[in-house]
Amino acid sequence: MNDVLRVSDLTKTYQSGSRSLTVLHDVSFQLEAGDTCAIVGPSGSGKTTLLGLCAGLDSPSGGSVTLCDRNLGPLSEDDRARVRNMHVGFVFQSFRLIPTLTAIENVMVPAELQGRLDVKHEAEALLKDVGLEDRFDHFPSQLSGGEQQRVALARAFINRPAILFADEPTGNLDSETGEHVVDILFRLNRDAGTTLVLVTHDLELANKTNRVIRLKGGEVVSDSNPREMASASMNGGD
């Protein structure tokens, strides 16, 4: 029972009028502590939907998600929020920093939500770690995209989460900046021993994880290690 994330027969159906649209179909997988996993697939294949369900941001139509030994199914929205607060970190494609808070204040938010109000030093250390030691008091609008995403990384790690969900963390960045951010992501991840779930279009990025789950039309078409993936994508990947 050391699985950080256990997903069984996960199904998500959207009802639009009389038509129902199944965007995820019987998805199952498990991740252990320290695992790194990429979810890849063409646009509209259900990657973001899967991520949202795993993190307990949404409820599934069928199947179950167990996050850090808590079955999310019967939990209320606020109970799931508590689980996220204790165990989960997030990195978003469009950064999602809170525009009215400074860099350091943004980093402190998850800790403050835990009731830890004096985390200034931890936040400063994290910002230094991502190379932003002279930008503590800058607002998001005063930072470049890469800098904003690095602040978001620092924010994601302040609660030492058991698992980190990242939805296309480099999607809004140029490749060089993206690479820099990814390096930091993997370094922090390794240091903290965090499980990583990464949604990406970028095969090179996917290659850095030790497991790749490939979705197509809401179903898992392959679940393999990166070396197999690379050859598979040569013939007919996205």
Partner 1 sequence: MEATNMQRWMFRFARRDTRGNRGRLALFVSSMVLGVAALVSINSFGDNLRTAIDAEAQTLLGADMSLESSKPFSDNVESIVDSLGGIQSRRTSFSSMAYFPRTASSRLVTVRGNEAGYPFYGAIETDPPEAAEQYLSGDGALVDGTLMQQYGVVVGDSVKIGRSMYRVEGRLLQTPRESAAIMLFSPRIYVPLARVDTTLLAMGSRADYEVYFRFEDERDVEATAEPLRESLQEERVGIDTVEEERENWDEALTNLYRFLGLVGFTALLLGSLGVASSISVYVRQRVQTIAVLRCYGASTWSTVGVYLMQALGMGLFGALAGSVVGVSIQTLIPIILGDFLPVDVSFNISWPAVFMGSGIGLGVTILFALLPLLSLRNVSPLAALRSGVDTTALEKGWMWWATAAVVGLGTTGFAMIQAPTPLMGLSYAGGILVVFLLLAATAKGVMWLLVRRPPIRTSYTIKQGIANLHRPNNQTLMMVLALGLGTFLVTTMLISEQTLLGQITVAGAEERPNLIFFDIQPDQVDELIATVEQTGLPVMEDVPIVTMRIQSVKGLSVDEMRADSTVRTSWAHRREYRSTYRDRLTDSETLLEGEFVGAHSGSGPIPVSVEVGVASELEVMIGDQIVFDIQGIPVETEVASLREVDWRRMQTNFFVVFPDGTLDNAPATHVVMTRADSEEASALVQGAVIRSQPNVSSIDISLVLSVFDAIFSRIGFVARFMALFSISTGLIVLAGAVLISRFQRIEESVLLKTLGASRKTVLRIMSVEYLVLGLVSSATGVLLSVIAGWCIARFVFATELILAPGAILTIMGVVIGLTLIIGHFNSRGVYDRSALEVLRSET
Ligand X SMILES: Nc1ncnc2c1ncn2[C@@H]1O[C@H](COP(=O)(O)OP(=O)(O)OP(=O)(O)O)[C@@H](O)[C@H]1O
Residue 23 binding partner per list partner 1, ligand X, Mg ion, none, with a CB distance cut-off of 5 to 8 Å that depends on partner kind:
ligand X
172 contacts Mg ion (rule: CB under 5 A): no
Count other C-beta atoms under 10 Å from residue 15's C-beta: 9
- Pick the binder of partner 1 from 96, 138, 201, 216 (CB under 8 A): 96
Rounded distance, CA 48 to CA 128, Å?
31
Q: Which residues of 73-101 are buried (b: 16+ CB within 10 A; e: fewer)?
A: eebeeeebeebbeebbbbbbbebebeeee
**What is the spatial order of strands in the sheet that 19-32 belongs to?**
19-32, 3-16, 62-67, 70-71
Q: Which of residues 187-226 bind partner 1 (CB under 8 A)?
A: none
Total binding residues toward partner 1, as defined by CB under 8 A = 34
Residue 44 binding partner per list Mg ion, partner 1, ligand X, none, with a CB distance cut-off of 5 to 8 Å that depends on partner kind:
ligand X
93 contacts Mg ion (rule: CB under 5 A): no
Cross-strand partners of 11: 62
CB distance 204 to 170 below 8 Å:
no
Site string for partner 1, 41-80 (x = CB under 8 A): -------x--xx--x-xx------------------xx--
Q: State which residue, 48 or 85, has the beta carbon closest to Mg ion.
A: 48
48 contacts Mg ion (rule: CB under 5 A): yes
- The CA-based dihedral angle spanning residues 40, 206, 90, 116, taken in that order and rounded to the nearest 10 degrees: 150
Residue 21 binding partner per list ligand X, partner 1, Mg ion, none, with a CB distance cut-off of 5 to 8 Å that depends on partner kind:
ligand X
Residue 78 binding partner per list partner 1, Mg ion, ligand X, none, with a CB distance cut-off of 5 to 8 Å that depends on partner kind:
partner 1
Minimum CB distance to partner 1, residue 193 (Å): 20
CA nearest to 105, candidates 59, 61, 158: 158
Structure token pair of residue 83: 């689980």
Residues at the contact surface with partner 1, assessed by CB under 8 A: 48, 51-52, 55, 57-58, 77-78, 81-86, 88, 90, 92, 94, 96, 98-101, 105, 109-110, 112-115, 117, 140-141, 167
